[in-house]
Each structure stands twice: as C-alpha cells, then as structure tokens.
Amino acid sequence: MINWLEDNWRILSSDYADDSIINPLWKTIKLQYTSKNRHYHNLSHIHNMLRQLEGIKMEIEDLDSLKFAIWFHDIIYKSTNKDNEEQSATFAENALKSLNFDNFRTEKVKKLIISTKKHELLLVENYDNAYLLDLDLSILGSDWETYKVYIQNIRKEYKIYPNILYKPGRKKVLNHFLERDSLFFTERFKTKFEKQAKENLKKEIKML
C-alpha cells in the first residue's frame, strides 16, 4: 500500500515540481498520516479514497485538484482540535504553492478540504465536491464487519474522552447524518452505499 501511495503521489505532483520539492512533501505526508494517534484517519483512509477514485475519474472535472484535496484533507488531525480542516487547508495552500500549483485551483482545493468539516457542498459547478464527500464517507456503507473495525478505530482516536462524553457526542454526529435526506450526494454512491450506511448508523446508535 505504501509503495502504491508513494507512486501515486509522485505521478500527481511530478507535473508541477521536481524531486527536491516532491520528496520532502511525501515524507511529511507519510509522517503526518502515520502518527501514533491515527487509527482511522491514516494512509489506509487515503488509499481507500484514491482507489475508489480510479473507478470514477472520468466523471471528475478537475482530477488533480480533487486528488490533492484527498491527500491533504486530513493532513492535520487531532481529536481535540476544532479546526483540523482549516489547518489542513492552510497546509495544502503552502504545499501547493511550493509545487507551483495554479492559485485559482489552490483556492478550489482549500474549499474542497473545508467542505469535509460539515460534509456540506461548497462547490456546485460540477460533481467534484460531491464525489470528494462521498468518497470520504463511503466507509459508512461498508459491510458490518468492516464498519465495526471503523467504529473501533474512531473510538481509539477519541480515547482521551470518557464514554460519558464520547457516546453522546458520537450519537449526535450519527443522528445528524441520519436526519439528512441522503448521506451521499451522487447517484452512484447513493445506489451503492446508502441503504447499508443507514443500517450501520442505526446499529451503532443502539450500541452507544
């Protein structure tokens, strides 16, 4: 997986900079996503999103911007932070500047990253933002055994909080998703994941 991710990163970024920029950025990305507090928001999560993207890339308007948004959307992640997405967007801005990425597209990447905070669309001129959010939440529609591992890993990331605080907070998040007309924005992901995702969320709520 690590080799595949590194190759993917190099292919993406080599159009914009040379190894003197690409290599240090890869090391930073790898370091951030493999830190000891990362049980779910890690390189496996990025790998899963990028793998799924391979099957829908023909439907994406600006593929490179979406890929950079995937790479950087959780680059800063601490369970006690309230501004992970904003910090990640700032990190992305600086990284993309070093890669000589277009300023207009950089702003787009930042908005894509910020949209993952509340999982609400900020860019609606095409389906790129919708696909980013659907890729990010696709784990919710996985089979129950995979979903159980996911919720265990999320709990580990929030281990600083006792159950008396964690459970009501987690339940609030899950209910927020269930109250939406749909968990997913694109027809492709609704068809593939919506039914299973709602079942999983309801099961988890009963366990809390």
Torsion over CA: 1, 21, 37, 148 (sign): negative
pLDDT in tens, 140-199: 999 999 999 999 999 999 999 999 999 999 999 999 999 999 999 999 999 999 999 999
Query: Measuring CA to CA, which residue among 85, 110, 1, 90 is closest to residue 46?
Result: 1
* pLDDT given at position 73: 98
In our burial notation (b when 16+ CB lie closer than 10 A, e otherwise), range 24-41 reads ebbeebeebbeeeebbbb
pLDDT in tens, 81-102: 999 999 999 999 999 999 999 9
| Mean per-residue pLDDT, 37-41 | 96
Query: Measuring CA to CA, which residue among 53, 201, 33 is closest to residue 128?
Result: 53
**Alpha carbon distance 207, 37 (integer Å):** 24
Biggest CA pair distance of the chain: 51
All structural domains of the chain, each given as residue ranges with its CATH number in brackets, are: 2-207 (1.10.1300.10)
* pLDDT given at position 106: 98
Average pLDDT, the chain: 97
